[in-house]
Every structure is written in C-alpha cells, then in structure tokens.
Structure 1
Amino acid sequence: MTDVSPSLSNAHAEDTTPEAAASTHLTDSSPETSTPPPVEALNATEAIAPAAEALEPESAPPAAPAVDTAPAASTLSAAEAPDADSAEAPAETTPVKETARKKQGERKSRKPATERTQRSIGFIALPVEISQLAKKYGVNHPGLVMGKYAVLLRMQDKQLQYAFTLEQKKRILQKVAHLMSHDKALQNVWQSQKAERDAVLQSSQARQVALSSQSPVVFATEHPLSALGLDLHPLFGFPQIQAQDIKGALRQFAETHWLPMQADASAASQTLQQIFGSASQEGEVVFHDAWPAQWPALSVEQMTNHHPAYYQNQEAPGDWQTPEAACFLSLKPGARFDFAFSARRPDHSALLDQVENWLHEALASEGLGAYRQLGYGRWKTRHTPAPAQWEGEVHLVSPAFMAGSGQGPEDCRLRPGMLKGLLRWWWRTLHAGFLSPRELSSLESAIFGSSKHKGGLQLQLESNEQTQARRYRPEDLLHQLPSAEARRRSPGLVYLGYGFFSENAKRYYVGPEVSWKLSFQAQDVTWQHKGQAISLSAEQILISAQSALWLLCHYGGLGQRKRKGFGSLQLNTELPLSEDGCLEAAARLRQHCGLRQSFEDERAQSAALMQRIELADMHTPWKNPWFVLHQLGESLQTFMQEHKHQVEKKALGLPRAMTPPLNGSFEAAAPVEDRHAAPYCLHLARHRDGALSVRFVGFPASRLPDFAESQRLLSALAQHLRTDIAARVSAQPEEPVLDLSSPATAEGEGRRERRERRPRPQGEGESNTQRERRPRREKPAGGGKFAPRPAGERPERRPRRPEREPLPEPTHWTERPGRRPRTESGPGRNRQLAGLPQAGEWYEVTLLEERTKKDGWRATESKSGLSGPVVNTSMVPGDAEPGQKVQMIVHAVNKLEMMFRWPTDKEREAREKAASGAAGKGRRK
C-alpha cells in the first residue's frame, strides 16, 4: 500500500486534510517582508554531489558556490582504460543554499571545526527495529525510500552512521524510479490531489500554463544522497518544481534580458518591483509550485569526473587519474508540468500576461533547471529560441557501446554532457605543452564552463531519427567472421573489444549510420587571469569548439573502447579546418590572451597534438565496420604476440595482464600506478564510395615510463599497422557478407535461445489417451494368482522409443555443445580436485567488479585462479569495493568455479581463538 500519510513525512505535519494540503500550494514562495533570495539560489543552480558522491575516493572538500553549469558527464566504467577521455566534471561543490546554511550553523555552534569535520558523515540510518518493520511491511512512498528509509539495516549491523557507496545510491534511486513507473496507488493519489488543487486555482483566478520538456530535467536539491536530483512532494511523493526556482529563473531573465531592452528603464524597474516585490514591499504575483500535468517518467543519470585532481588545480589532466562518478534522478524528456501563478488582487490581473511572456521566453532561451549548458532543462514553448551560431550533423561510422547508470537499452544513448566532455579532451590537446595545468584549467572553464563560472559555449544535441539500441550477441556475428589465425588466440573482434564478449554480459550498442544534429551557441565572456579581465568574443569561443569537434570526428570516437575504433564519428557538415588550421586557431587564442606561444615537451604532461605520431589514412576496400574492426584486432594482436613476455608492452596502456616468464623491466613514473589509458587512438573513416579507411594517431606519454620509450613503441606499432593492414587487404580484398538483421532489442526482452531445440522423439510428450497400451492378462475367475504362461507363448514386445540424435560437433568456439557434463563422484573426483582449496577453509580472496545476475558480489582466489559468487552477499559490508582483498571461507569448489561465504562474527571469533590457542601451545613447547 502506498504510504502518503503526513505523519511519515518531515514537512507539513500540521495540515493533514486534503484541503489544508491544497491550500499550502497557494502561498508565495518567499517571505513577503524579506528580501528575495539571490538569483543563484532560486535559479536551480547545480553542483556535483558532495563527499559521498565519489566513486573511488569517498570524500572531497567542498568548493565555492555553484553558478549555472558544470561540465561533465560520462557513463563509462572507471576500470576501462580507454574511457579516461570520455567526459569530465570539475571539482565537487556545494549548493549555495547549503553553503549558507553551513555558515549559519558554524556561527551558532560552539564546537571546534575539527570535531565538526569528523562528524560530517553521509547519512544517519534508522534503528534496526524500525528497519526490520519496514522490510516486513514494505515502503512505497518515493520520498521515504530516498530519505528516511533509504538505509534498512540488518540485525548484525551495529553502526548508526552509514556511508553510501555509488552502487547503493544507484539502487535506491532506481527503486524510486521504478515506484514512480509501476505504483498505481501513487498515480491515483496524484490525480485526486491535482483535481482539488485545480479547483482551488480556478477559484482564485490563477493562470495555468502547461509546458513539456525537450530534454532531461534536473535541479539542485538538499538531500543527503545527492546535491542534484528532483524535489518530491513531501506528502504525496510525486515530483514537483518549487515555486522559488520558477520565480528566481523569471526574475533573472527579466533583469538580464528584458530590462536592458526597455526604453523607459525607470518604469520597467517599477514593473519588476511590483511583480517580484522587494525588502519593503510584497510582490503582486504569487508563484505556485509546478505540478505534473501528466504522470512523469523518471530516469537515473550518471556523470563521471575523470580528472578530479586537474579541476582542483593539483595535477595535469592525465589519463591515469581515478574517475569519480555521481548519479541522480532526472525527468525524462516529454515531462509535462502545469506552471501556475496568480495575482494577489483582481485589479492586478494584467501583470499575469507579462509573467506568462517571461515564462515562455525564459524557458525558450535559457531553460529551467541545472546543467543547462550541457543540454539539460530544455522546454517546448510558443517562442522560438535564438538561432544557433553554428549547426552541423555528425554520424557514427562504427558501432558505439554506450551506457549510463545501468547497461540496459535505455542507457545506450549519446548525452550532451558526454559529447561536451569529449570536446574538452580534444581542446586540451591543442594547448597542452604551451600552458601550465593551472592556466589550461582556467581557460577551459571560461570557454566550456565549470562549477564556479558559466562558460561561453552552449550546445544542443538532437537525434535525427529514433535511435534504438541493439543487443550485441556474439553468436550472431562471430561465426560469420574468419576464425582465429592461430591456436591460443582470440578472434580479432574479441581481442579489440575486450570486455564486450563475456558470456553473461548483456551489452547494447548503437549501430553505424545513426546521426545527430548538433548546434553551438556562443556568447562573450570575460576571463580573469592574473588580475586582468580578458574579453573572449563569441567568435573565438565558437572557433575553439569547432576545432575540438573537428579533431574528435577526425581521430576520436564515443562510448567504451573508443580508442580502439569503436564509436568512430564523422562530420556530415564540412568544416574548413585541418590539423594545422586547428593549431593556428589555438595560437591566435593564446596570443589574444597574452599567453606564451613556445612549446616545451616538459610542460606537456597530457596528450599534446604537437607531439602526435600520425599515419596517413590506410585505405581498404572493405565497407562493413565489423569486418574492419575484426581485421584491426587481428593486426593489433599480432603485434602484441611479436612482443610476447616483453614488459615494455605496458607502455601501450595499463593495466595489462601478462603471464610469466617476463623479460625486461618497466616502472611507470609517478603519479601513474596501475591505470593509464592507451596513448593512441584508432579511427574508422568512410569515403564517398563507401569504403573504410583506418587512421592512427599516437600521443607519447611521458610517464609510460618516459617520453622516449613511449615514442619508440608507438612508432613501432604505427609501422606494424601500416604494413600488416596492407598485407591483409592484398590477401583478402573481398569481405564476407555479414547478416546483422536481428531486430532491435526492446526494453525487457528475454534472452534468445543460443541454438535450435532438438526435435522431440516420437511418442514423447503424448497424452496417456494417445499412447498405445499393452493389454493386461485376465485374472482367474475363482481368484488366486495369475495362471502360468503356456510354454512357447511369448507376448509381443513393445516397440522401443527412438533414441535421441547425438549433438553435432561444435564448428565454432562460440557454440556450446549442450549441458555441462556431470562432475564425477567418488575417488576420481577427489583426485581431480587435489591441490585445490577445500570447502570450509579460509583464504584471502579479491572482490571482483563483475556482479552476479542478482547483483551479488563475486570473488576470485589468486592461487587456483578460480572465481565464483559470494553465497551470503548480503553480509558483505556496504563499504566494500572491487579489488579489495578480504578473508573468506570456501563454501564449495569444483574444477570450474569456487563459491565463497562471508564469515560471521562467531566464525571469526572461533578462528581467532583457535589461532591464539595454537600460539600458546607453541610457546609452552
């Protein structure tokens, strides 16, 4: 049952009747006798989530208040080396309202700052008894699921303060989104309350304007789970847009856009004061919360900051830094809301026309919500937005594997934040080696925006057609490609797309030739540098964005494994640029800003276009990108096997698993430890005749282990690719016909059969009435036993059932020959498991990032190399992370996998007692 009781909420506890609840929405959004809140606080300014939002490091110091944008956003795994360049977000910040509240609390508090810092934890959980009751009876109120009942402790949990991990927060937000989509009781409550509210608004002659969103919408929130998200109604749980956000957005638009255009500035200022009020006068217009006009759909978005130390001015934007991810709730595109405002007196109803005009113009030009510079917060209005200064079209050449907070088909899509993060990465390659990391970060923030400053570039992204993700099934494709060229070698496509082809992974991709419309809007900004205010024109910002886009579409791609040729982009709209043209535009920008023009190798701590190792396009007659990627993977695998057991291969990206014996030595320079993206990019380009060519560009990494060694190995790789690809083209000028006509995957589609079912033998599965029966002998009339059968008489035998046909021999490595054979029992089985860990023994294991189908933990034991699930995964502490080494008990083991069990407190005490007893006996001896 849906819980909408006011007693379960932390707000509006005084009014419990529907009439009182409806009347609360007719009040003004701000106190009538106080100064209106600042524009930054009212206009839904955004910030990356606070301390508990990080993926790897669990804490980060809060920064300055946020203004209207934060660059960012990737949906990719932190463990994928090629994904370090996907998208970035600047250093984490705290919203304005939260910062002001913290300052006020510091003035009132008498405790020292150090003690307050130690107590600043993420969440306070419910007592165990209440958690057990909530588990028993269930909680269906979205606000409570995301708030008070977000943490339901187990009986063995003793802590009061609970620190969330990213996966835990993601599951909570996904549960809220699921409730909003499937709980009919919530929708019934919304319908009844909306009808009562509409009646009250009509009686007060309020103006209602229904508008729909064009893009995902998100707001700044004050919530322990995330500083970004949605405001849920405290009583009824559905999303709403607060009146103060609407009022602040309209006031900012009126003061910055409408007021300068008025001939009579004095009369216009009086109109503003009359509508919005001042410190001594209340406004004549009342702004109400915006309620959904139709039941909205929610989604869970994820953004990743791939260079946290760079945005905190601590390091260069290197591809070795650990990403920090944050997830939050957002409204899906198409959400329709009723914006309502009313006049305090009937003689001021004419002011409502002006407010309605501002509403349409503000939402058309500026949008409403957070991350508007990344494409969020766009609304459909009757006003046409300002024309973009540049419009173009990009399309995919090779398949792109994308993901978001999940890896379902709805998450496989291109987001504006992802694209803007890629533009940032390629823009930095133009200036790396000329500017210091601090200068690079400051100039980048002025152009693309940051959590502290609004940038001069704004982009919009729109798919040209209904982009539908497809489920990648290796069995549909790999058997059509040439088999591996040698034993103990994977097919080229499997090698190049490592991570996509695991048996249990469900991966989705967007096919080639999908296109998007892209538009840039630039405005003049002022860059503060060394105490000077430097003006950057809209034209300079636009040229910088176009240069980054040209490099992205010429060398790069999007999605996972984009540095290996997946997700290659190509421009449909010609830009009059080249590599030298992009470098010249960057030089003119540095000259305008008074920055140095000399390039130094020592200053290039990240990928620099001036140091690139480039090959001319390697033309092929092939037209299918899957086949080209397969051949590219075979060529790359050949190069790696030529350097078998050579540790120097680690200069091509970390981590890299290698089997002994190892030759040579390799030690990455600090701060690189065990992670670094591949220092090269492979790209597919399509020509007018439809044929594909391969491009290679390498960026020598000064920390793998030094610039000279990285340059030497990248040059050798480039030369090998040129020779080997040419030989493959000569050997196989014609490509095979690949059939990828499987239908696009809809959400919730079940798993297809990997092979056709065997035909059922005759007679099997028939009903008893259809099956032929043997006639029974008659019993003697006088009773007793059956008479013996006469000599020589033999009944006719029942025909035997036809035997099942044996399974055909597998013709390809992806075809499984049916069920796994049973494990032998008895002494033979014990001989097979000799030397393996036995059930009940304690071992040090490593937690894996890969999860089970039910999202449980998996672990691996290093000596045997076996891995398997943790059977009591609910007992694993919430702060456990992938890669962590822990002590577990072997639950079961066979020659294929091993199952583990998290030890209980009693088992740990018994083990410690046994260990201490054994130590005592040793001392007595």
Structure 2
Amino acid sequence: MAVAAVPDYLGKDFSTASPGLRFGLYLQVWSARFGKETNKVEPLQRAGKLNDNDKRVMAALAARQQAGFEAIADSAYTLQLDTLATAPFTTGLGNAHPLENGFAFLNPYGLPYLPGSGVKGILRQAARELASGDWGEHAGWSNDVIAALFGSEDDKRPLRGALTFWDVIPQIKGGSLTVEIMTPHQKHYYQEGKTPHDAGNPIPLTFLTVPPDSGFTFYVQCNPALLKESAPALAANGQWKACLQAAFEHALQWLGFGAKTAVGYGAMQEDQGKKSERERRQSEKKEEARRAALSPEDLAYEQNRTVIDNFNAVFDAARTGTYQPGQEFDSRRNTFIEAATAWEEPRSRAEAAALLAETLKWGVSKKGKVRLKEALAMLKGEG
C-alpha cells in the first residue's frame, strides 16, 4: 500500500488534514522504499476529498469575502460577478510536485483558489483582443483604457492600474476535487530528439481539477482617485464598469480561467440565479435605507398610501357596475373607514376623505350613509 513520505509518529490517517496538505506533504503515493507507485489516481482522489471542516472553511471564506466586499462596496466603483464552471477548472499545474503536475492551494487553508493576478491576466488579454477589433465591437477598449485600468510598464510613462482583483475561492460542487488524465504523445520527438512516428508509448499524467457546476465569485475594486487622474472619461457614468463587463463576457465566452484553457478547461458562465438574488438583496437594502431616511410622518403617509391605493383599486373595479346595497364593496368600505379614521397623519386623512366622498356619490345604503358621513366629518376634523 502506498504511504506518505513522513515520519511514523505522524500516523497514516490524514483524512482530517486539508486537501493542500494531503496533496503536498501527506500525499500517499510512495512505496515502502519511497519509489513512486504506478497507481496515482487513488492517492489523488483521497487528497482531493473535502472533509466536513474543509467544507465549513470553504463556505466561511466565501461568506467573509462577501461581507468584506459589501462593507467597502460602492456601486460606482466595485463589480461583483457570480459564475458557474461549465467545464473542469485547474490552475497551478506548473507548481513543483512529485507527480509532475502541481495545483494551486491557498495557504493556510489548503483549499483551491484562483489568484487575483490570474484573473487580472485573463481580463487584460480579453481587453487586448477587444481593443484589436478582430472580435467585432471594441466595447470601449483601447490601449489607453487598458493602461488606465490594468497599468502599464512603459519606461517613459509607467502607470499603476486603477483595478484591484480579489482572489477567487471556488465553492466546490459535490464535496471533492476530481482527477483528470492527460496523455501527451510524441515524447520521443519533443523531449528525446528522435524521429516522429505514431508508435510512441504515451505515459498518462494525472492532475487535480475543480469539477463543473462549482461556483466562482469574482470581486473587482476600482480606485476612483487613480481612475480620475489617468482617465477621467472612464469615471463618468460608470464607463469603466461597462468596459470591464464586456471583458468578462469575452473571457467567459472565449478564453476561460486557469490552466489548459486551450483544450476547454476553465470555461464558465454567469450564474443568473445568484445575480438575481444579489440584485434583490441590493434593492432591499436601498429600500431599507430610503425608508430609514424618512420622517415618522412621511413613513406613516407612505404606509397609509398603500391602503388608500388598494381600496381605490377595489372602488374602480366596483363602479364599473351598478351599486347594490349589501354587496362586498360595502364591507371593504367599512374596513377602510375603520383604518382611515385611526390615522393621525394629515395627508393620509385628507386623501382618504376625498376617496370616501367619491364613493358616497356613487352609492351607499341608507344605513351606511350615516356612518360614512360621520367618518368624513372625523377625517376632515369636523366631528
């Protein structure tokens, strides 16, 4: 059985360690004489399995990022994009590892991540492609816009970009990383300098991936001071955000994120469900803030207006016909009278009185007329 290359006192059960530790220090892929075992899939599967603590940490990191972003979020200078992977995602394959293919884990949590620098690189490339015009519309991109948002290393005019990209913590679907296999051909030609032919013996190489349907949330901040200094036009009417959204759309559709994107890895699409939910929460927060800024009188008037509008709709529906005493409208009117006469806010009382006076003209029973006139006198301050 394969073992980890660690002292005996550490034991043999590393199921409580993070995936990063199990893939690195505790990878159980060595024979008793510390030669690599031929079966590399099972050790990687064990390394990529998330335990309960990993899942809690993964969710907590996502929640902390969201809370931190909302704490500093300015709708004019921040952008959040929720996506779902439509293909396996991998990154960090060039990191040193005994199995030749590494993987990027975020220390000290030992969980997969996409560095913010990687996000910036892909979006810069997307911006360059759009600016070239080879993909149709420029979507506002040009070399100057790229320099203003991503920075420039021009010796004559070095420039710091206005955008900051956060690391992305994938929310892994299914609770486990998956193992993929690639079989590079023509090793004898590319590495050994032999004549190319089709009788080569490719050696399968295994590597870890984040499975499809995993969630990736991108957070981007824009420094308004830098933006206004380097490209004031981009700060007007959120033009920088429109450009960046176009770059994201291009990257999602044509480029992908992470490694091996040329063969389909790292493909993603926007998560419309999360987008709608985020917009709903933002709308609720704006509404709460707006209501909190109202005076007690304005708040009471706004609440009472809802009752007035509802009864007005009932009245509009009823007066399309002929008034009949004892119909449901009389009951609805009596309920409205009880609510309106209890109000203290003067605008609400005045509008309720005007509406009830209209219903009096349309129709009321003899018994109800007395009560209605009394209510009108109360609402007008005459009773």
Q: 1:137 to 1:362 in 2, by over 3 A?
A: closer
Residue 293 of structure 1: how far off its partner (Å): 4.5
- Unpaired runs of at least 5, structure 1: 1-123, 384-925
Residue 153 of structure 1: how far off its partner (Å): 7.7
Please tell me the residue identity of whatever aligns with 2:53.
A
Residues in 2 aligned to 1:242 and 1:267: alpha-carbon distance in whole angstroms: 24
Residue of structure 1 equivalent to 2:254:
365
Residue of structure 2 equivalent to 1:282:
160
Contact 1:211 1:379 in 2 (8 A): yes
Residue 381 of structure 1: how far off its partner (Å): 4.2
Please tell me the residue identity of whatever aligns with 1:243.
G
Please tell me the residue identity of whatever aligns with 1:217.
F
Residue 256 of structure 1: how far off its partner (Å): 2.8
Cα deviation, 1:255-297, whole Å, max 9, x if unaligned, reads 1333336999998211100111123221100011112246564
Residues in 2 aligned to 1:360 and 1:264: alpha-carbon distance in whole angstroms: 13
2:46 equivalent to 1:175? yes
- What are the within-5 Å matches in structure 2 for residues 810-849 of structure 1? none
- What are the within-5 Å matches in structure 2 for residues 94-109 of structure 1? none
- What are the within-5 Å matches in structure 2 for residues 237-248 of structure 1? 237-248=110-121
2:89 equivalent to 1:217? yes
Picking from 133, 150, 154, the partner of 2:27 is: 150
Contact 2:18 2:111 in 1 (8 A): no
Identity %: 23
Residue 318 of structure 1: how far off its partner (Å): 3.5
- What are the within-5 Å matches in structure 2 for residues 263-342 of structure 1? 268-279=142-153, 280-293=158-171, 295=173, 297-312=176-191, 313-319=193-199, 321-342=200-221
Residues in 1 aligned to 2:30 and 2:36: alpha-carbon distance in whole angstroms: 13
Residue 188 of structure 1: how far off its partner (Å): 1.2
Residues in 1 aligned to 2:262 and 2:13: alpha-carbon distance in whole angstroms: 44
TM-score, normalization by structure 2: 0.56
Give the total of aligned pairs. 247
2:17 equivalent to 1:140? yes
Residues in 1 aligned to 2:81 and 2:168: alpha-carbon distance in whole angstroms: 10
- SS of structure 2 residue aligned to 1:353: helix
- Unpaired runs of at least 5, structure 2: 229-234, 273-383
- SS of structure 2 residue aligned to 1:188: helix
Q: 1:137 to 1:246 in 2, by over 3 A?
A: closer
Greater RCO, 1 or 2 (C-alpha within 8 Å, sep 6+): 2
Cα deviation, 1:438-470, whole Å, max 9, x if unaligned, reads xxxxxxxxxxxxxxxxxxxxxxxxxxxxxxxxx
2:36 equivalent to 1:164? yes
Cα deviation, 1:635-681, whole Å, max 9, x if unaligned, reads xxxxxxxxxxxxxxxxxxxxxxxxxxxxxxxxxxxxxxxxxxxxxxx
Please tell me the residue identity of whatever aligns with 1:329.
L
- SS of structure 2 residue aligned to 1:380: strand
Residue of structure 2 equivalent to 1:204:
72
Cα deviation, 1:763-814, whole Å, max 9, x if unaligned, reads xxxxxxxxxxxxxxxxxxxxxxxxxxxxxxxxxxxxxxxxxxxxxxxxxxxx
- SS of structure 1 residue aligned to 2:82: strand
Please tell me the residue identity of whatever aligns with 2:142.
A
RMSD (CA atoms) = 3.3
Contact 2:139 2:243 in 1 (8 A): no
Contact 2:131 2:141 in 1 (8 A): no
Residue 353 of structure 1: how far off its partner (Å): 3.0
Which of the two has greater helix per residue? Answer: 2
Residues in 2 aligned to 1:375 and 1:137: alpha-carbon distance in whole angstroms: 33
Residues in 1 aligned to 2:201 and 2:262: alpha-carbon distance in whole angstroms: 25
Residue 311 of structure 1: how far off its partner (Å): 3.9
Q: 1:137 to 1:170 in 2, by over 3 A?
A: closer
Residue of structure 1 equivalent to 2:265:
376
Picking from 183, 186, 193, the partner of 2:61 is: 193
Residues in 2 aligned to 1:263 and 1:151: alpha-carbon distance in whole angstroms: 51
Please tell me the residue identity of whatever aligns with 2:258.
G
Q: 1:344 to 1:236 in 2, by over 3 A?
A: same
Q: 1:336 to 1:311 in 2, by over 3 A?
A: same
- SS of structure 1 residue aligned to 2:183: strand
Residues in 2 aligned to 1:163 and 1:356: alpha-carbon distance in whole angstroms: 50
Q: 1:137 to 1:381 in 2, by over 3 A?
A: closer
Contact 2:91 2:258 in 1 (8 A): yes
- SS of structure 1 residue aligned to 2:152: coil
Residue 201 of structure 1: how far off its partner (Å): 1.0
